[in-house]
Structure 1
Amino acid sequence: MSKLQHFLREEDGAAAIEYGLLAGLIAVAIITTITAIGTHLNTVFGYVSTALAGVVAP
């Protein structure tokens, strides 16, 4: 019976799960930010490409 009580009081697994959830949320935030920045950079490089399309080399 004491082993069962010890198992139910154990909190190490809960801490590991919390750290795992925190790491997952940070990863989702990083992926979302990089995706948004990538979209904006694609737009900027598209404008630059269009602007340079008419330039003739001397």
Structure 2
Amino acid sequence: MILKFWTDDSGATAIEYGLIAAGIALAIITVVNGLGTTLNDKFTSISSSLK
């Protein structure tokens, strides 16, 4: 039974897709976080100029 469990790789594809999705989500979060900081700085600059 242990040998059968050890050689069974039917769930490997789901795990691989999960890891790929997690990597893509991490990349998106990183980009959005950096973009948000840049936009915040830009709007702060514009706000200061208008005062």
Q: TM-score, normalised by structure 2?
A: 0.84
- What runs of 5+ residues in structure 2 fail to find an aligned partner? none
Please say which structure displays the higher CA radius of gyration. 1
Alignment of 1:1-58 (within 5 A): 5=4, 7-53=5-51
Runs of 4+ with >6 A deviation? none
| RMSD between aligned residues | 1.5
Q: TM-score, normalised by structure 1?
A: 0.75
1:11 is paired with a residue whose SS is: coil
In the TM superposition, residue 10 of structure 1 has moved relative to its aligned partner by: 3.0
- What runs of 5+ residues in structure 1 fail to find an aligned partner? 54-58
In the TM superposition, residue 8 of structure 1 has moved relative to its aligned partner by: 4.1
